[in-house]
Each structure stands twice: as C-alpha cells, then as structure tokens.
C-alpha cells in the first residue's frame, strides 16, 4: 500500500470511528479518546495535503497543530453562516468531514517519495536522557497536584446565604431560601414576617453545601421580611432580607 | 533543519558558525549526546523549580500569605526554571534538538506555573469572560451571542469555537478543554516563533536566543498564555508569518504554504481584533521591504497576502464585528490625546508609570535601558550586513516600535497597560534584533568569552525575571491567597462565585447590576449578569440623592451588590469600583459604612440577598425609580 493510501486509511478510519463514538452518545474514556482523535486528525491530514510531508519534523508538527486549531474556527463560522447549529454532532461531523475530505485529496494526488536529509528527525535521544525527561514530567505533575491540594484545602470564611426574591414568572410569589456554606452542619431558625406579623417559621438543619428553599406569597402593599437565626442564638438575626411593599409591582 | 534562504542574506552568514553547532550539523553523535546531557538535567531542574513555585502558592493559600518565605520560594523556583535554560541557550553548546527541548521545557514549565496559580477554575478576569462566551456557545449552539462583561468577545469567537468543539466531542469541562486549548496555543506560539527566527537567521543558536528574549515579554507567562482570545490568535499569527516566509523566501511547496498562510490569517481575523491588524500590517511591511530589496516576485506574493489579510479584516469588521471600533476607539483616543498634549509642550494627563515595589521598578528600568541600548547594535548590524534581506529589515523596523512602547508607557494614561499589550507583538522583532546584537557581542574569540559565559546570561536572566516581576499578576497578587477587596484573582472566592451563580439562578441573566471592582467580572461571567461601570456614586454618598437617582435611571441599574468588606479594607487594586473611580489611587481609609448600608433605609428598596459580607438590593419600586 502506498504511503498516501496508508495515511488516508488510518486517519479516515479514525475520523469515522470518532464520529461514530461521539454521535452514539457514549461517555467516559471512549468519548475522550475519540474526541481527541477527531480534534487532531484534520490538522494532520491537511498538513500532509498542503506540505506533502516535507520539511523538518518540528515544522510539520506545529503546522499540523495550527491547522487542527484553525479547523473548528473557520469551519464553525462556515457552518453557522449555513444555518447549522453548533452542537456536539455537528462539531464531530465538521472535524470528521474535514479529515475525510483531506483523505480524498491525498488519495487523488500522486504519491511522491519523501526526501531524505533535512526532513528526517535528528539524532535519537539516549535512554538516560529520556528517563530524565520522564522524571521531570513526574515532578511537574506532582507540582500541579501540590497546587491543587492547596487550592482545595484553602480555608475560606464560611458563609450562609439567605434570600427572598420575587419570582420572575410571578411577582406575587417570592423564592425564600437558605444555603449553608459554613463548612459544617448547622441549625437555623427562619422567621417569615408580613409587616410586623410572623406568618411562618421553620427550624432547619443543613449540611454544608445543602440548600433549603420554599415559595412564599407576597402581598401588595405589605412588606415581607425574613430573619435567619443561627441556633442557639435566637436574640440576634444572623441574616436578614426584606421585600418592600412596592416590590410586587416588579416588571 | 536547514534554511532555504540565500546564504548571502542570512544574518549568521557573516561569522563562523559556532563550533559545536557546526559539528552537530554534520551529525556527529557525541554532540547529540552533549545536547541531551544538558537538556535532561535542565528539564529536571525546571520541574523542581516548578515544584517550588507550587509549594509557594500552596503555602500562601494555607495561611502564610503574609510571610516572606513563600515569596522567596517563588523567586527561587522561577530562577531554577529560567536560569539554567538561559545559561544553556546563550552558551552555544547545544544542538538544535537540545535548543528546542530546552525552549519548550521553559515554555511548558512557565505555563504549568500559571496553571498552579489557579488550578481548579478560571479566576483571571479575562479567562472568566471567555468562559462565559464558551458556555453560552455550548448552550445555544450559536455564534455571536451576548456577553455582558466583554461584549466584543462573541464577535471574535475563534477561541470559543475551538474550546466548545473540544468540550463537546470529548465530554471535558469547559475549564479542562480551555486549559488544553490555551496550553496548545501557547506552546505552538513559542515553537512557531522559534521556527520563524530559525528560518530568518539560518541559525538555531540565534533562533533559540531570540525566542528566549521574547519570553521576557511581561505578558507572556500569564496574559498571553491564559484562556483568552489573544493566546490563540498569536499562534495563528505566527503560523501565518512562518507560511509567509516560505511563500516569499522559501523554494518548496509555495502553493501549499500560501494555503496555510490564508488559513492562518482567516483564523486570526476570526479570533482577535488587534492581532489581525498587526498581522495585516506585518505582511504589508514585509511586502514593502521585499520591494525595497528589489525582490519583485516576493514583494508581489507578500502584497497578495497583505491584501487578503486586509480584506478579511475589513469584511469581518463590516459583517460580523462592527462594534470593534467603538470598543477600541476610547483607548486610541486617550493615547492620541496624551501624545498630542506632550507634543504641544504641555504635560500628559497620564499618571506616573508603574508604582510597584522599588525592586520591581528598578528591574523594569534596567530592562528598558538594556533593551534600548542593545537594539541600536542590532540595527547597526542589520544595516551593515542585511539591508538587502527584507525579512530582517522588516524585523528591524518592527523592533524600532519598542521606543514607541517606552514612550507610551511613560506618557499615556494607563500607559503600563497599553505598553504591556503592545509588548506581545513588539517583542517578536525586538527578540530577533536583540538576539542578533547578542550574537554579534558573542562572536567567537577569547577576549570576549567572559561575555558569553557571564554577562550575556545575566542580562537574559535579568530581562526574563523583569517579565515575571512586572507582568501579571500584579505584585500584590503575585501569590494566591486570602481574599483581597477590589483585587483581581484574589477577589474570586466561593462566596463571590456562589453569589453570582445565585443571581443567575434566581434573577435570570442580563440584569443591570452595580458592583465593586472585585465582583464586577465574577457577576458578569459566572453570573451572566450585566454589570455597569462608573458606579462609585452609588456607594460613596451617605444618603439618597436625586442626582444619584437620575444616574441610576440613566444606567438602568436594577440591583446593587454591596460588599461590606469595603468598609473594612483598602482596595488592593487602588480602586474600589470598576471604570472611573474618582478616588482611585487616593484612598487612605476604607469606605464609610453609612454609604454601604444606606439602601436598607431607602423607601422601596428590597434587600433580597444576604450572605454576611455580601448583600444584594433591588432598586425597582424604590425612590431611585419613583417619578
């Protein structure tokens, strides 16, 4: 099999398989591998089409990568102008289609022998040097993990959210909610007032990250407010919100 | 790798090639081993330096932000990343493979240092803005959507398209896909720069040196490697310039390279406004230089590329991004006004240039002096030997813009910002011409050996460290850590992000919000709200006024986010509020609490959200909107 045929068969089958995996709705590692193959394939094929596999390895690799990045940029605009929405299947079709088109051009073109000499890779690296680069990669990955650990374990001031907001769909209803981000399980007392009258109250226990939410009616002309107490302190409101009497005219 | 450029016009044709390089060219295996012996340990040293940087960040996050040792640890790590690499690249003891390996090692290590700063989510303002555009594209499947906090971004959707496509077809998050795209573009850019310099000079030593000097661009390690449209656009610019070199000066596959150039320039035009203008100007400059060198066919080919680039820019401006001019014009007008004021004999309205710690200012001044002094040597050398080489002449003309950048930095309002943005482009020719000058200093000869072994690496390390010290993040956020009022990255914490997400979930997108400097971008990006600029008036007066109500109505402000920490701390950035803050740079004590809590007492204002430090008020139906 000639070189162009081999290349076209390889990239074409990768693109078609990638498209099949993506459009089948698979997830996880299969999707990741298929997606990455789809992302790089057009650049590789079109670099071969345009430059004929000539020139230094570094130059070919970088031009391939540039073309791979340019493909969704230019192709996305072309699809959009054609009225095609840009979702998963369309992106996959664009990349697979670009690859297969490049393969067809490769197959139709006469196969020239690649020149020897300047285009050949440089002297091989010794195993010890490769091992050093591997050590460097491991240390670098460790450094990123150290940074991630710091970011994940950074101590932030805990907080509790309380809200009372008129709903967008109906100004006569409000969303009343509490969310706990204190970093611990906490108990609260939530008191809802209309004017100065208590109309409802709840005792809530929330784990950190947990949310409590209700819909409450608003009365035009009456101020609605909510006080949240962090138990056991019932003397001092921990959070306070209020919707004014005129807010029910919200557009 | 060999250059196909005529030997007489090569910048390194005038001196004997470095001994090691020339022998390595001949493929002697012992020199390949020598390059490997240097590159491997340098990679390990750089990785250990990166570990120190990460440890400094973690220490700063874990309660040691005010101690001095994390800062020292950070600088030691940075020195380990760039120091040995600079020594090796200046030494001329490397083969081409070693040069490329070391250059890419430094690039990757510095990129990972940037990732370590914010390893869980985007917290740089520009990254958050592009995150929003990408998420909008993923949800809607449509280009040119709405981005309230960076309205121009959806009209240059290249970055968002690549990221959205990658996230869609791999199932990765926007953050992970964005990191992959930004890192690929960043490494690609430096690799392509190396190839451009390599092609122009015909010498990998000069190319490596030029790329290394480029790395001293203060924006490179953070701003030009973050998830922002310019990061991708400069990679497209570089591949276009490389292809243009092949089209004009190369001998093989001109049609193929012409196609690569057209693809590259179209991608640049779609991805970033200023980069596409710089690209069109560069191609035009090359065409003129080729014409001046009487290389007619090369001039025609470069002119065709310049015309295509200009046409693409104009078409994109008219059809897809007509608002670009109104986006860029205020900066241009401000710059022109300052320059005009200076030329008229008066004073510019510009505040003084960067006012960081004395060490940073000294480093910056020294770098400006060194680069300003070294460039004339490069010009002289270009004039003497390469005035018939259009690409080198074009680079010399571009490098002369450095002096313009220095002037802008000194005279223009926000000059440091503008100079920083310009340095992304100006450092390309500057790096090359400075490398030619350094090479001229370092020509083989015993009497000058101390230059190569001592002074030149020291100079290169100096300018590299200056890039880090005076680049991004600013010195007061060099290390991540606890919350700072009105900062950049250190104003992005879970409380701010959760508040922004609550606003999107509960209030819907696109509400007009008044907010402080620190919350502005978070609200606009993670919250998809429409925050307003120039809102200091709402917070600084202790009571309601009709004038404030008129301004609220004029700006259609519906919600006010109040961060009560403004009454406890001074602003890290010097200004509490986005846009024009009358007190910027002059705050000596925190804001009055009365101005922040007055909304609770104003008739009709609803207090709809309270998380302790952050409170949100709804102005609708209040005196602000009463007739």
Q: What is the pLDDT of residues B176-230, one digit of tens each?
A: 999 999 999 999 999 999 999 999 999 999 999 999 999 988 888 778 899 999 9
Q: SS3 for B6?
A: coil
Rg (CA), chain A: 31
Sign of the dihedral through C-alpha B286, B288, B292, B298: positive
Most confident of A164-168, A231-235, B393-397, B441-445: B393-397
**Across B558-563, average pLDDT:** 96
pLDDT at B29: 39
pLDDT at B10 over 70: no
Query: Which of residues A170 and B606 earns the better pLDDT score?
Result: B606
Q: Domains of chain A: which residue ranges? A: 3-113, 159-249
> Which of B36, B97, B191 minimises the CB distance to A62?
B191
Listed range (B40-54, B227-241, B352-366) with the worst mean pLDDT: B352-366
pLDDT at A199 over 70: yes
pLDDT at B34: 52
pLDDT at B7 over 70: no
Q: SS3 for B353?
A: coil
CB contact under 8 A, B170 and A251: no
pLDDT at B33 over 50: no
For chain B, percent of residues with pLDDT exceeding 70: 89
Say how many Å lie between the first and final Cα of chain A, rounded: 71
> Which of B51, B166, B607 minimises the CB distance to A142?
B51
Identify whether the C-beta of residue B394 lies closer than 8 Å to the C-beta of residue B289. Answer: yes
What burial letters (b/e) apply to B152-172, b meaning 16+ CB within 10 Å?
bbbbbbbbbbbbbbbbbbbbb
pLDDT at B441 over 50: yes
> Which ipTM value was assigned to this complex?
0.89
**Chain A contact for B208 (CB, 8 A cutoff):** no
Q: Which of residues 575-604 of B touch A (CB under 8 A)?
A: 603-604
**Chain A contact for B358 (CB, 8 A cutoff):** no
**Across A197-211, average pLDDT:** 95
pLDDT at B505: 94
pLDDT at B447: 58
Question: Chain A residues with CB inside 8 Å of B253's CB?
Answer: 50-52, 54-55
Nearest CA in chain B to A76: B161
pLDDT at B451 over 90: no
Give CA–CA dist B454/B24, Å, rounded: 24
pLDDT at B615: 97
Give CA–CA dist A162/A177, Å, rounded: 6
Q: SS3 for B514?
A: strand
* pLDDT-derived band at A115, boundaries 50, 70, 90: low
Listed range (A9-13, A232-236, B157-161, B309-313) with the worst mean pLDDT: A9-13
Question: Chain B residues with CB inside 8 Å of A181's CB?
Answer: 494-495, 498
**Across B23-44, average pLDDT:** 60
Q: Which of residues 63-102 of A touch B (CB under 8 A)?
A: 63, 65-67, 69-70, 72-74, 76-77, 80, 85-88, 90-92, 94-95
Phi, psi (rounded to 5 degrees) for A95: -70, -40
CA dist list (Å): A127 to A132, B40, B85, B181: 9, 11, 21, 31
Residue A217 CA, chain-centre distance (Å), reads 37
pLDDT at B462: 84
pLDDT at B347: 52
For chain B, percent of residues with pLDDT exceeding 90: 64
Min Cα–Cα distance to chain B from A2, Å: 21
pLDDT at B26: 35
pLDDT at A55: 84
**Chain B contact for A51 (CB, 8 A cutoff):** yes
CB contact under 8 A, A154 and B95: no
pLDDT at B315 over 50: yes
Orientation angle between helical segments B174-201 and B229-249, nearest 10 degrees: 30
pLDDT digits (tens, 9 = 90+) for B579-591: 889 999 899 999 9
Domains, chain B, with CATH or none: 7-227+323-328+386-398+469-476 (no CATH), 489-618 (3.40.50)
CB contact under 8 A, B164 and A56: no
pLDDT at B154 over 90: yes
Query: Which of residues B462 and A39 earns the better pLDDT score?
Result: A39
Q: SS3 for A163?
A: strand
* pLDDT-derived band at A6, boundaries 50, 70, 90: confident
The whole-chain average pLDDT of chain A stands at 89
Rg (CA), chain B: 26
pLDDT at B24 over 50: no
Give CA–CA dist B5/B12, Å, rounded: 12
Nearest CA in chain B to A139: B47
Neighbours of B434 (CB within 10 A): 27
Question: Chain B residues with CB inside 8 Å of A147's CB?
Answer: 54, 57-58, 115-117, 119
CATH homologous superfamily for A159-249?
A: Immunoglobulins (2.60.40.10)
CB contact under 8 A, A67 and B263: yes
* CB-neighbour burial class of residue B441 (10 A; exposed 0-12, middle 13-18, buried 19+): middle
What burial letters (b/e) apply to A216-234, b meaning 16+ CB within 10 Å?
bebeeeebbbbbbbbeeee
Q: Which of residues 144-203 of A touch B (CB under 8 A)?
A: 144, 146-157, 159-166, 168, 175, 179, 181
> Which of A31, A73, A239 minimises the CB distance to B270?
A73
pLDDT at B413: 64
Residue A211 CA, chain-centre distance (Å), reads 24
Give CA–CA dist B610/B116, Å, rounded: 32
> Which of A27, A118, A132 minimises the CB distance to B1?
A118
Query: Which of residues A21 and B565 earns the better pLDDT score?
Result: B565
pLDDT at B30 over 80: no
Say how many Å lie between the first and final Cα of chain B, rounded: 76
pLDDT at B610 over 50: yes
* pLDDT-derived band at A239, boundaries 50, 70, 90: very high
Query: Which of residues B7 and A30 earns the better pLDDT score?
Result: A30
* pLDDT-derived band at B542, boundaries 50, 70, 90: confident
Q: Which value, to the nearest 10 degrees, does the dihedral of the CA atoms of residues B96, B101, B103, B105 take? A: -170
Listed range (A181-190, A239-248, B187-196) with the worst mean pLDDT: A239-248
pLDDT digits (tens, 9 = 90+) for B45-75: 999 999 999 999 999 999 888 889 999 999 9
Query: Which of residues B594 and B625 earns the better pLDDT score?
Result: B594
**Across A65-92, average pLDDT:** 96
Question: Chain B residues with CB inside 8 Å of A124's CB?
Answer: 32
pLDDT at A84 over 80: yes
Identify whether the C-beta of residue B44 lies closer than 8 Å to the C-beta of residue B101. Answer: no
pLDDT at A150: 94
**Across B604-615, average pLDDT:** 94
Q: Please, what's the largest Cα pairwise distance for chain B?
A: 87
Question: Chain B residues with CB inside 8 Å of A76's CB?
Answer: 143, 157, 161, 165
Query: Which of residues B7 and B340 earns the better pLDDT score?
Result: B340
CA dist list (Å): B371 to B217, B455, B463, B464: 12, 14, 9, 12
Nearest CA in chain A to B58: A150
Listed range (A108-112, A174-178, B496-500, B600-604) with the worst mean pLDDT: A108-112
Query: Which of residues B293 and B460 earns the better pLDDT score?
Result: B293
* pLDDT-derived band at B337, boundaries 50, 70, 90: confident
* CB-neighbour burial class of residue B455 (10 A; exposed 0-12, middle 13-18, buried 19+): middle
CB contact under 8 A, B610 and A239: yes
Token pair for A22 = 């993506």
> Which of B37, B169, B270 minimises the CB distance to A88?
B169
Listed range (A180-194, B83-97, B314-328) with the worst mean pLDDT: B83-97
Give CA–CA dist B575/A236, Å, rounded: 34
List residues bridging with A166 in a β-sheet.
A174
pLDDT digits (tens, 9 = 90+) for B380-439: 999 988 888 999 999 999 999 999 888 877 776 666 777 778 889 999 999 999 999 988
**Across B314-320, average pLDDT:** 96
Which of A154, A180, A183, A226 is the mutation pick for testing B, counting most B CBs within 10 A? A154
**How big is the A-B interface in CB pairs under 8 Å?**
315
Which of A81, A82, A147, A164 is the mutation pick for testing B, counting most B CBs within 10 A? A147
pLDDT at A249 over 60: no
Q: SS3 for A33?
A: helix
Min Cα–Cα distance to chain B from A180, Å: 10
């Amino acid at each position: 099999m000639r070189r162009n045929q081999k290349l076209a068969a390889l990239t074409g089958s990768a693109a078609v398989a990638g498209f099949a995996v993506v459009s089948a709705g698979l997830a996880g590692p299969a999707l990741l591998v298929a997606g990455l193959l789809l992302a790089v394939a057009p650049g590789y094929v079109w670099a071969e089409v345009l430059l004929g596999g000539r020139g230094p390895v570094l130059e070919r690799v970088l031009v391939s990568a540039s073309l791979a990045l340019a493909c969704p940029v230019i192709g996305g605009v072309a699809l959009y102008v054609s009225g095609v929405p840009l979702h998963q299947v369309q992106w996959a079709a664009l990349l697979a289609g670009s690859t297969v088109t490049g393969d067809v051009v490769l197959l139709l073109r006469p196969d020239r022998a690649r020149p020897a000499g300047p285009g050949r890779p440089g002297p091989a690296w010794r195993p010890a040097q490769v091992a050093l680069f591997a050590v460097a990669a491991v240390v670098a990955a460790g450094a990123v993990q150290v940074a991630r650990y710091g970011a994940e374990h950074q101590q932030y001031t805990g907080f509790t959210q309380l809200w009372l907001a008129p709903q967008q769909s109906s100004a006569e209803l409000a969303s009343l909610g509490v969310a706990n981000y204190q970093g611990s399980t906490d108990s609260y007392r939530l008191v809802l007032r209309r004017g100065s009258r208590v109309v409802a109250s709840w005792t809530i226990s929330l784990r950190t990250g947990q949310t409590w939410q209700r819909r409450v009616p608003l009365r035009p002309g009456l101020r609605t407010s909510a006080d949240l107490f962090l138990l056991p302190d019932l003397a001092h409101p921990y959070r306070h919100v209020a919707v004014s009497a005129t807010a029910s005219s919200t557009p | 790798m060999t250059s196909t450029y005529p030997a007489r016009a090569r910048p390194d044709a005038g001196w004997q090639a470095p001994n090691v390089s020339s022998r390595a060219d001949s493929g002697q295996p012992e020199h390949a081993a020598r390059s490997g012996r240097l590159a491997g340990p340098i990679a390990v040293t750089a990785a250990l330096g990166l570990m120190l940087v990460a440890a400094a960040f973690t220490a700063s996050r874990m309660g040691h932000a005010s101690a001095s040792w994390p800062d020292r640890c950070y600088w030691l790590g940075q020195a380990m990343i760039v120091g040995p690499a600079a020594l090796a690249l200046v030494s001329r003891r490397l083969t081409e493979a070693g040069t490329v390996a070391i250059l890419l090692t430094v690039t990757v290590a510095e990129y990972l240092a940037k990732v370590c700063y914010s390893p869980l989510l985007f917290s740089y303002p520009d990254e958050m803005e592009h995150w929003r555009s990408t998420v909008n594209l993923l949800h809607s499947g449509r280009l040119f959507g709405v981005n309230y906090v960076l309205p121009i971004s959806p009209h240059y959707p290249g970055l968002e398209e690549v990221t959205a496509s990658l996230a869609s077809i791999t199932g990765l998050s926007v953050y992970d896909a964005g990191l992959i795209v930004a890192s690929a573009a960043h490494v690609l850019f430096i690799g392509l720069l190396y190839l451009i310099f390599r092609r122009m000079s015909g010498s990998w030593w000069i190319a490596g040196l030029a790329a290394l000097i480029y790395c001293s661009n203060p924006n490179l390690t953070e701003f030009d490697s973050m998830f922002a449209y310019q990061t991708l656009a400069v990679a497209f610019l570089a591949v276009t310039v490389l292809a243009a070199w092949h089209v004009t000066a190369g001998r093989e596959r001109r049609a193929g390279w012409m196609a690569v150039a057209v693809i590259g320039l179209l991608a640049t035009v779609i991805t970033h406004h200023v980069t596409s203008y710089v690209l069109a100007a560069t191609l035009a400059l090359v065409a003129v230089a080729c014409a001046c060198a009487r290389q007619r066919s090369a001039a025609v080919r470069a002119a065709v590329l310049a015309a295509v680039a200009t046409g693409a820019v104009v078409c994109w401006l008219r059809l897809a991004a007509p608002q670009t001019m109104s986006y860029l014009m205020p900066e241009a007008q401000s710059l022109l006004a300052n320059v005009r004021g200076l030329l008229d004999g008066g004073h510019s309205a510009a505040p003084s240039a960067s006012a960081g710690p004395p060490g940073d200012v000294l480093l910056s001044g020294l770098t400006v002096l060194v680069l300003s002094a070294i460039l004339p040597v490069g010009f002289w050398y270009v004039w003497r030997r390469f005035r018939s080489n259009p690409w080198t002449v074009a680079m010399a003309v571009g490098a002369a813009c450095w002096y313009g950048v220095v002037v802008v930095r000194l005279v223009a309002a926000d000059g440091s910002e503008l100079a920083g943005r310009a340095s992304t482009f100006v450092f390309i020719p500057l790096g090359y011409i400075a490398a030619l000058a350094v090479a001229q200093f370092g020509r083989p000869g015993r009497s000058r050996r101390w230059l190569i072994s001592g002074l030149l690496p020291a100079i290169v390390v100096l300018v590299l460290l200056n890039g880090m010290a005076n680049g991004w993040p600013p010195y007061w956020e060099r290390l991540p850590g606890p919350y700072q009022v009105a900062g950049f990255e250190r104003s992005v914490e879970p409380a701010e992000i959760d508040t922004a997400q609550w606003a999107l979930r509960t209030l819907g997108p696109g509400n007009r919000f008044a907010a402080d400097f620190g919350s502005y971008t978070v609200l606009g990006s993670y919250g998809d709200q429409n925050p307003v600029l120039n809102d200091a008036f709402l917070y600084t007066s202790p009571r309601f006024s009709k004038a404030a109500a008129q301004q609220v109505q004029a700006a259609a402000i519906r919600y006010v986010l109040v961060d009560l920490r403004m009454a406890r701390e001074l602003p890290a950035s010097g200004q509490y509020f986005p846009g024009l803050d009358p007190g910027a740079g002059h705050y000596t004590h925190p804001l009055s609490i009365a101005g922040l809590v007055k909304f609770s007492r104003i008739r009709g204002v609803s207090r709809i959200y309270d998380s302790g430090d952050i409170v949100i008020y709804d102005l609708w139906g209040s005196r602000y909107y009463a007739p």
